[in-house]
Structure 1
Amino acid sequence: MDPAEDADLADLALRTRHELSGPADEELHHRLTTPGATDDPDELAAVLTEPQRPLWAREIAAYRLGCAGDRRAFESLILLLNHRDPERCVCSAHALSRLGDPRTAPAAAALATNELRVAYALVPVRLLAALRAPESVPALITVLNRRLAPGDPHWRVALACVEGLGALADKRARPVLESACAHPRLSAAAAAALGRLR
């Protein structure tokens, strides 16, 4: 584990400490978050499948496996990517970006475009832009088109789409970015994104 990952794991350990509920939890938390205490991928993978494991333990195990490129973490990380807790979503997205699993982009696109979960689409949208996968541009265009409807409250998701499309600089995004220029909260970012297309 490199120093940056050590720091990220330390942040994850600090965030999840308040979820512990006794000495057994404290011991497991220590093992999962202390570099060198357990580096066995099979032991970490077992945490994902054993019954009665708390969410924080599954999150830490999935994060460590994902950062190590172990695809057994994929399903758990995708579930966490769409969690109501934004910090869990961000942590999962980081691990998924390191995992290198070809299923990640299609799954992120499905989450981002699911209108029933649009309130939790921000991190999947940002992950799609970072992945630069074939699914990224079509999904971001779809999400942004929906967010341009009058009165739509999810302007932060729309802004993430605009920024992502600007970073990807794909000419297919021109029509939706031009439409986004008419929205006050999106106009500056949309104009900047259009500038990248030129």
Structure 2
Amino acid sequence: MDDWLSALLHRARAEASRGAATGDPERSGPRAYERLATWSVRAAAREPRTAKPARDALARVLTEQGHPVWAQEVAACALAGAGDRRAFETLVFLLNYREPVRASAAAEALARLGDPRTARAAAALAGNELRTAYALESVRLLARLGAPESVPVLVATLRRLLAGPGHYWPIARACVEGLGVLRDVRARPVLTAATGFPQLRETATTALARLPRP
């Protein structure tokens, strides 16, 4: 088990302990956690006789009713780490989740999963004006993927944020950083505009310096 999944399970253990008194103990308490942790380890095994039943059990957590969010998160991330695309829909839901730690875990899992639908889903979430406050990880994932959708969506999102009235500076800054990483000359106009805002000036200047010279 790598450090990323180990940290996720450590956080889930604490949530399972808190949830034991409020939910179904078979699905939300420490016993549920122990099963998920065991399945997560087995899902990554190279031996099909061990891995397949564990992955099927994790996939059921994503479709059955009554499982808490932390359990769905663990199941989806463990499946993603094993390359199982049954995790995709749950991870996209979590990518735009209100709790940043879950969105961050989902972004990492989607990057590891490598599903070809990921860039389109991240682009849709990053460009959704009604969910801008929760778009940070979608923006970062687009920059990480470097997909055909990445630059147009980051440019459009940053342009919209600069126009206001809600600037959402952390999201705008992530767009600027992502465009600097992608080094696409199409970003020059909007990055130049971003230098006019004190909250973005330094980051935008650095991003501009990374673009190919005209």
TM-score (norm 2): 0.86
Which position in structure 1 is the counterpart of 2:152?
138
| TM-score, normalised via structure 1 length | 0.92
Q: Is residue 81–residue 124 contact of structure 1 (8 Å, CA) maintained in 2?
A: yes
**Could you tell me which amino acid in structure 1 is paired with residue 10 of structure 2?**
L
Gap runs ≥5 in structure 1 = none
Alignment partner, residue 28 of structure 1: 32
Q: How far off its partner does 1:113 sit?
A: 0.5
Q: How far did residue 28 of structure 1 move?
A: 1.7
Of 3, 10, 13, which residue of structure 2 is paired with 1:14? Answer: 10
Count of aligned pairs = 194
For residue 181 of structure 2, what is the aligned residue in structure 1? 167
Q: Distance in 1 between matches of 2:68 and 2:209?
A: 47
Deviates more, 1:20-29 or 1:82-91: 20-29
Unmatched tracts of structure 2, length 5 or more: 44-50
- Runs of 4 or more above 3 Å deviation: 34-39
Q: CA–CA distance in 2 between the matches of 1:150 and 1:110? A: 20
Is contact 1:31–1:37 with CA below 8 Å preserved after alignment? no
Counterpart pick for 1:100 among 114, 124, 135: 114
Which of 170, 174, 192 is equivalent to 1:156?
170
Q: Which residue of 1 aligns with 2:100?
A: 86
| Structure 1, 147-156 or 57-66: larger mean CA deviation | 147-156
Distance in 2 between residues matched to 1:77 and 1:171, nearest whole Å: 31
When the two chains are superposed, the root-mean-square deviation of aligned CA atoms in Å is 1.5
SS of equivalent to 1:177: helix
- Over alpha carbons, which structure has the higher Rg? 2
CA distance in 1 between counterparts of 2:174 and 2:114 reads: 22
